[in-house]
Amino acid sequence: MSRIDDIFTRLRANGGTALMPFITAGFPSLEATERSLPALANAGAHIVELGIPFSDPIADGPVIAASMHEALMAGITPAKVFDIVRNTRDHLSIGIIAMVSFSIIRRLGVERFINEAAAAGFDGLIVPDIDLEQAAEASQLAGANDLSFSLLIAPTTPDERIAEVVSLCRGFVYVLARVGITGEQSAPPQQIAHRVRQIRGHTDMPLAVGFGISTAEHVAAVTQSADAAIVGSALVRRMGEAADPVAAAGQFVGELASGLARRDART
């Protein structure tokens, strides 16, 4: 069983739900990223998404796009992100997942990238822009390395497409709370429970909801039905604005974790 499978299995058995914060690797610095991983774990995160900086971020709003640009200008590369995970992996029990464009994976070679990610200590990949035809190979290679492999389901994804997407996922499915790009929202996401029920008609795999989740209230609304809440832009913004980004990240994630819902235990 992979680490991601184990995390969700234990949470479900105890009626718990997961918090999955996203941070941009190398923003505002490599040191801050490395120090943030244990801080997020201590604050209540179960799985952390590390965004590997990309020059044309997919579906990311201005906050995350700017953070990736700054990280790239500072010389952040996939190899340096792997080093961050390698340096911290033995000291952490949380899951660590790479959010990565398929362009980066393809540039290094699918098999080589996945092998190196696993060797560094990553527990999974989210690949938002991969074609489903190419996803089959990547999913198989991820599974061979005990990595989760997650694709995105948008509010506009039709039912027959949902079935195809979830068949290629391992570990969990990433469900978008709304159409558009990432970014903070004031109102809680709408109709998530209905969408979760629809997707559960195709899979019992854990469902993690992201895009626009930015408060403990939002986390509570999402995890009433989904298995996990993903928070990105709100956290990245706070890290960029703070004199101490690590402390700011830990404090904010602690606030978000207070919103996690508890449900009937599942076996």
Catalytic residue numbers read 49, 60
Query: Are the beta carbons of 250 and 42 closer than 8 angstroms?
Result: yes
| DSSP SS3 for 144 | helix
User: Which alpha helices (DSSP H) does 62-101 contain, by range?
Assistant: 62-73, 78-88
E-strand ranges in the chain read 18-24, 47-51, 95-99, 124-126, 148-150, 152-153, 173-176, 207-210, 228-231
| Cα(254)–Cα(261) distance, integer angstroms | 14
| DSSP SS3 for 80 | helix
Going from the C-alpha of 263 to that of each of 9, 73, 193, 225, 256, the distances in angstroms are 14, 44, 14, 9, 17
The pair phi, psi for residue 4, each rounded to 5°, is -65, -45
Residue whose entry in the numeric block shows the structure tokens 């994976």: 105
| Cα(95)–Cα(19) distance, integer angstroms | 11
Residue 109: exposed, middle, or buried by beta-carbon count in 10 A (0-12, 13-18, 19+)? exposed
| Cα(119)–Cα(83) distance, integer angstroms | 10
